[in-house]
Amino acid sequence: MTPNQDELRALYAEYMVPAYNFSAPIMVRGEGSRLWDIEGKRYLDFTTGISVCSLGHCHPGVVKAIQEQSATLMHCSNVFCNANGPRLAKKLSEHGIGGKVFFANSGAEANEGLIKTARLWGSQHGEKTDIIVFHTSFHGRTLATLAATGQPIFRNGMAPDMPGFTTVEYNNLQAVKDAVTSKTCAILLEPLQAEGGVFPATQEFMTGLRQLCDEKEMLLLFDEVQTGMGRTGTFFAFQHFGIKPDGFSTAKAIGNGIPLACFQLRKDLADLYKPGLTHGSTFGGTPLATAAGLAVIEAFETEGVLANANQQSEYLFQKLRALQQKHPAIKDIRGMGLLIGIQLDEALADTVAKCRENGLLVLTAGKGVMRLLPSLKVTTEEVDEAIAIIDKALP
Ligand SMILES: Cc1ncc(COP(=O)(O)O)c(C=O)c1O
């Protein structure tokens, strides 16, 4: 029998590293935009497991694919190729930059690959080692990705930092130009900073970075861990800006809940990797994870996912702007597609708690920001329901 909430709280306190708060409600079931907790309460989920279950919880196509694959072959290691990986790589390449793909397990691991690529490339281009990154960015919890993350609080007590990162202001092209040296091999950024507070890049900034990288011979690398797979209304967020990176990572939503991530490189850059030597990952791209990935892509190609995401994004922004007229607590509304930030400042904690009490799950980001990450298949009725709850929760 599943223990009750109090028993789980006690087990958590005794046996789990407290990297997270024990946070009720304890979720036991999900379907589409809905979650149910251990006590049977139903929630409207506008967090999607932090942008992971973007097709909704337990998407039938993904469930079927992993059920079938798990009964056939779950893992064989990358010593042997599996029948799904190359097919998924082709799809991701076609939807991406026409590049080559390396499969990993998490966003941080995929970003490590980008950082390695930058250094491998830099070592063949005048011993360049340094990467320009940005304040309020978030790239992961490994030591390299923490050094790249422009929020030093996350690496407190973990010195020495990995060297070779220069952090500058986001959306400030001049600051980037001033930071470039003969040692700079790459610029790494999120096309929309999500964790840092939902700050989209400007068109001028993105075009300027592409030009700068071309002029100064540097790689332009995007972290699309959170923005990828339709979250901003295009398959990848860089597609809004009419430019292409030399490489990019993506993770969260590729497996719709099964851990899967990847980085994709311009085809000529992929030659930096030598079999069995330069990089590897025991679990990266297992038959099971890539079966989930193929089912996710299939849903994108056949279920009108992007069209719905864009339609609902427009509707949600419109409804939120109407709320802003009514509630001075809303200082700003930002974002792209279905990655939306509402600047609430001191009203944040209370509003988030009241939303939860009333059955709507939302996230926070950066300083004073409520973050909404609904399913890309969210319905108009669900948006209306969320808006009514937020309206009631706001001061
Ligand atoms: C933009 C970005 N990069 C990297 C990461 C780290 O991903 P993971 O937690 O899968 O390592 C995150 C996680 O939130 C993220 O939002």
From the alpha carbon of 195, which atom of ligand 1 is closest? 16
Residue nearest to atom 4 of ligand 1 (CA): 139
From the alpha carbon of 259, which atom of ligand 1 is closest? 10
Same domain, 176 and 247: yes
Same domain, 131 and 279: yes
Same domain, 141 and 269: yes
DSSP H or E segment with residue 36: strand 34-37
- Out of 256, 278, 302, pick the residue that ends a domain: 302
> What is residue 98's predicted lDDT score, i.e. its pLDDT?
98
Same domain, 181 and 238: yes
| 3-state secondary structure at position 61 | helix
Q: Give distance in angstroms: CA of 388 to centre of ligand 1.
A: 30
**Contacts for 152 with CB less than 8 Å, ≥ 6 apart:** none
Residue 74 has pLDDT above 90, yes or no: yes
> What is residue 3's predicted lDDT score, i.e. its pLDDT?
81
DSSP H helices in 217-304: 267-270, 287-302
As for ligand 1, residues whose beta carbon falls within 6 Å of it are: 50, 106-108, 111, 138-140, 190, 194-195, 223, 225-226, 251
Q: If we measure between CA atoms, which residue out of 122, 38, 104 comes closest to residue 254?
A: 104
Question: Which of 53, 133, 138, 263, when mutated, tests ligand 1's pocket best, judged by the most ligand atoms within 8 Å of its CB?
Answer: 138
Give pTM, 2 decimals: 0.97
DSSP string, 84-116: SHHHHHHHHHHHTTS-EEEEESSHHHHHHHHHH
Q: Give distance in angstroms: CA of 138 to centre of ligand 1.
A: 7
- Out of 302, 323, 342, pick the residue that ends a domain: 302
Residue 1 has pLDDT above 80, yes or no: no
From the alpha carbon of 251, which atom of ligand 1 is closest? 10
Residue nearest to atom 16 of ligand 1 (CA): 226
Q: Give distance in angstroms: CA of 111 to centre of ligand 1.
A: 9
- Termini Cα distance of the chain: 41
- Out of 302, 328, 362, pick the residue that ends a domain: 302
Residue 24 has pLDDT above 80, yes or no: no
295: domain CATH number is 3.40.640.10
Question: Which of 52, 225, 256, when mutated, tests ligand 1's pocket best, judged by the most ligand atoms within 8 Å of its CB?
Answer: 225
Residue 13: pLDDT band (50, 70, 90) is very high
The number of folded domains in the chain is 2
Amino acid at 230: G
Same domain, 66 and 213: yes
Span 116-156, pLDDT tens digits:
999 999 999 999 999 999 999 999 999 999 999 999 999 99
Range of the domain at 193: 61-302
Contact between residue 115 and residue 145 where contact means Cβ atoms under 8 Å apart = yes
Give percent of the chain above pLDDT 90: 97
Residue 99: pLDDT band (50, 70, 90) is very high
Q: Give distance in angstroms: CA of 316 to centre of ligand 1.
A: 25
